[in-house]
Amino acid sequence: MPNYRIAPSILSADFARLGEEVRNVVAAGADIIHFDVMDNHYVPNLTIGPMVCEAIRPHVQVPIDVHLMVKPVDRIIPDFAKAGANIITFHPEASEHVDRSLQLIRDHGCKAGLVFNPATPLHYLDHVMDKLDIILIMSVNPGFGGQSFIPEALNKIAAVRQRIDASGRDIMLEVDGGIKVENIAAAARAGADTFVAGSAIFGKPDYKAVIDAMRGQLAQ
């Protein structure tokens, strides 16, 4: 069985109590904290930046996975690395120089990855597989939590799984958007190993019950 990871998205957490929220969700079994950065330019919403990453960093030991939904990309990468990010991903069509952005992330000591929107083609992978630690497939259009899973994402996950396996490299395959207890197994069968879930976890009072139920689905 792959090493499955649950990555709660704090987009749906209570921002007035963020330190407590991240501590609670890690205590409930989260493997990673997923940190959604939106700029009201690349996506039509505005969220949180490096200062908030720095503020939550001392509260948890698990990796912080920064999902950049921003354009331009490069300027903000060093700030997130300094703020304690462990993983930084960006959307390739938002970067003028994808290879350079990936290298910049790695040079700052973080794991680097590309994010694919539902309609973004996978050809961006063609010449950079050796610089990737993670590939993130969006199963909603980025910008908001609480949207419905787009089923076509399963075919895309399967296509990326083939490419990762063919590469022989250890690259995480993350899925983000509309993941719930009911569909996490389908995403795993398609080849995902890391599962972002925002509203499904933070929308319920008992985070551990949801994460345990997700792991139960993955164990079948």
Residues labelled catalytic: 36, 176
The strands making up 5-8's β-sheet, listed across from edge to edge, are 5-8, 194-197, 172-176, 134-138, 111-116, 87-90, 64-69, 33-38
The answer to the question of residue 37 lying near ligand DX5 (CB under 6 A) is no
Amino acid at 45: N
Which partner in ligand DX5, Zn ion, none is near 143 (CB below 5 to 8 A by kind)? ligand DX5
174 sits near Zn ion (criterion: CB under 5 A): no
Greatest C-alpha distance within the chain: 45
Nearer to ligand DX5, 165 or 209 (CB): 209
Instruction: Give the gyration radius of the chain's Cα atoms.
Output: 16
The length of the chain in residues reads: 220
- If one asks whether residue 178 binds ligand DX5 (CB under 6 A), the answer comes out as yes
Tell me how far apart the alpha carbons of residues 74 and 79 are, in angstroms, rounded to a whole number.
10
Q: Tell me: cis bond preceding 205? Omega within 30 of 0 counts.
A: no
Between 1 and 4, name the residue whose CB sits nearer to Zn ion: 4
| 107 vs 124, beta carbon nearer Zn ion | 124
Q: Indicate whether 5 belongs to the interface with ligand DX5 (CB under 6 A).
A: no
Binding residue for ligand DX5 (CB under 6 A) from 9, 89, 95, 101? 9
- 91 near Zn ion, rule: CB under 5 A: no
Site residues, ligand DX5 (CB under 6 A): 9, 11-12, 34, 36, 67, 140, 142-143, 145-147, 176-179, 196-200
